[in-house]
Structures are given as C-alpha cells and as structure tokens.
Amino acid sequence: MRHTLLGVVAMTATFAAWACEPLEPAYRLERPRLLGAKLVVTAEPTRANLRAGDAVVLETYTGSLTKDRGAFASAVFTVCAAADDPIEARCVGPRFADTSTRGPEDPRVAFTVPPGSAGKMLVFAMFCVEGEAAIATNELRGACDRGTGQEMVVRFEVGGAPNTHPVLGSDSIALDGVPIVEGRGCGEGARVVRADGISHDLTIAVAGAEDGEEILVSHVVTAGKLEGLYSNAGSDGTFRVGWEPPTTLPEGRVPVRLHVVARDGRGGVAARVVDICLEKGTAP
C-alpha cells in the first residue's frame, strides 16, 4: 500500500488516502507521515532558487505519534531531469544520485545540479514504515518489501527567479499569546495545558517573506483538534488556528507534538516542531 505526496519544490501537496486503512483527520498525526521537504543550497543555505552547478541537500520532515523525526524505517531517492508533465512524474534522460537511507534521523539526499542544466528537474523518493524501500528500474514507482509506504515527488526549476527561504524563529509559535519553547516535552519549562476540551489559540509568525509573496502554512498535531490542516494570514501577517485539547488522557501528563511547515510557493520552505504538555483536567 502506498501514500503519495506530490508537489512542486515548495511541496504544495495533496495527501492521498492510505488505502485499506481508516483515515484520521488530515491535521491529526497518528501514523508515520512525510510532512514536507526543503532543497538547501550548500553554499547559500538561505537561497531557495537553484542554479546549474549547485551542490544541494534535500531535507525531509517526517513525524508520527511517537517520533518527531525518522518516522520511516527506510527511504530511497533518485534525481533526474523532468518531463514537462504536471501530473505524471517522468524522467528525461538518465537518473542520478540514487541513494538509500536508514536510521533515526529524517531521510535526506545530496546531489549536484549538473552544469549547464536549465528547466525542470525532480526528486522522486519512496519511504517505508517497516521494510526496505525500492524504486523500479524502468519507471518512477516505489515499493516496500513489507508494510506500508509513501511516495514523494519534488519538482523544481533550475535557473528560476531569485528567492529565499521563509523563517520560523525560536519564538515564532505561540499558545494563547505566549511563545512555546521547542523540545521541552513535559519536562522543566514545558507549556502545560489541561485536558479539558477548552479551545486555545495558536499563532504562527513567519519571517523572511518577500514583497508580494503569499505564504502557505500547514500544521498537524498528535492529539486534540485543530480547526484545519492550513491557516491563512490575518491582517497583521500572523497565522492563527484554534486547537482544542482532548478531554481524556491515558496517564497524568502527555506531550503533544505540533508540526508546522511554511511554504512560499516558489521553493522556499521552513519547518518547526514544538511540544505542548497535557495534564489531566475536568471537561466543562
């Protein structure tokens, strides 16, 4: 069974269903999921547009109910010049930078944009929850030798207009107006919220947007209810979404992970994950 993530380099994505399995709400992160990807130019990490000859690392962002990263057991990547087809992922010429990865970190692949390149290129990848990932020899089609998996297609332009990545800073995500400190879980300094079903406001401030650039923010959470998978910017440029915690907990305190990805539609991507600590409460 496969789950496919399609998008341009900015990873503006539509999430297909996990066939044969019940679906959680799109904003609920209950199973391993690829959340986004970012092309990073090694010599200029803030630059989002690619040029011929650039050394590039494609970083992926994954998550699940139990892991902030490295949610998949294995992944395999391939890179090629892309056919001018907005629907089907097809290569023009040979594939290169075939790379497989395993381990606790989010998968990534490094490659160099061939000198003299121009036009469209793509990265195709297959991620597997349990088994070994593979890509077919004669077509861009992934498979896992066991269990479920997810395909990814990232299309990008070589030689496009200048662009930089947006920024999600250390105080960019706030709960009820108070910034959430990253990586605290339910330890010292954690933001604690009672599991009482009372709604809270999450605000997200994205820096680095260029004039006239429209930012798209997506967010997923491991528990509770968000108002949606995406949020729109208000008049002050800040993104807002309501979050309602659950009313029951299996134990006294449980960390909830919130993953946020900001995209500018031209290849710029930023991502952060923060924790909210839930403690048992009484529903109103």
Contact of 265 with 235, CB cutoff 8 Å = no
- Count of Cβ atoms closer than 10 Å to residue 2 Cβ: 17
pLDDT at 23: 58
φ/ψ of 218, rounded to 5, equals -115, 155
Cα–Cα distance measured from residue 164 to residue 25, given in angstroms and rounded to the nearest whole number? 32
| Cα pseudo-dihedral 131, 135, 141, 142, rounded to 10 | 10
pLDDT at 121: 94
Q: Which residues pair with 96 in a beta bridge?
A: 79
Cα–Cα distance measured from residue 160 to residue 180, given in angstroms and rounded to the nearest whole number? 36
Token pair listed for 86: 């907005």
pLDDT at 6: 36
Could you tell me the end-to-end alpha-carbon distance of the chain, in angstroms, rounded to an integer? 42
pLDDT at 24: 73
* Centroid of chain to Cα 217: 11
3-state secondary structure of 209: coil
- Count of Cβ atoms closer than 10 Å to residue 28 Cβ: 18
Cα–Cα distance measured from residue 64 to residue 73, given in angstroms and rounded to the nearest whole number? 12
Q: Which residues pair with 167 in a beta bridge?
A: 207
Token pair listed for 216: 């798209």
DSSP state of 181: P
Class of residue 262 by CB neighbours under 10 A (exposed 0-12, middle 13-18, buried 19+): buried
pLDDT at 118: 84
Q: Which residues pair with 37 in a beta bridge?
A: 60
pLDDT at 66: 83
Mean pLDDT in each 10-residue stretch from start to end of the chain (284 residues)? 39 31 78 95 97 96 88 95 89 89 90 90 95 93 95 93 95 96 84 93 94 92 96 89 91 90 94 93 56
Go through the chain and tell me how many residues it has: 284
pLDDT at 282: 57
| Reduced 3-state DSSP string for 96-132 | EEEEEEECCCCCEEEEECCCCCCEEEEEEEEEECCCC
Domains contained in the chain, CATH given: 2-158 (2.60.40), 173-280 (2.60.40.10)
The CA angle 28-34-40, to the nearest 5 degrees, is: 130
Cα–Cα distance measured from residue 157 to residue 9, given in angstroms and rounded to the nearest whole number? 8
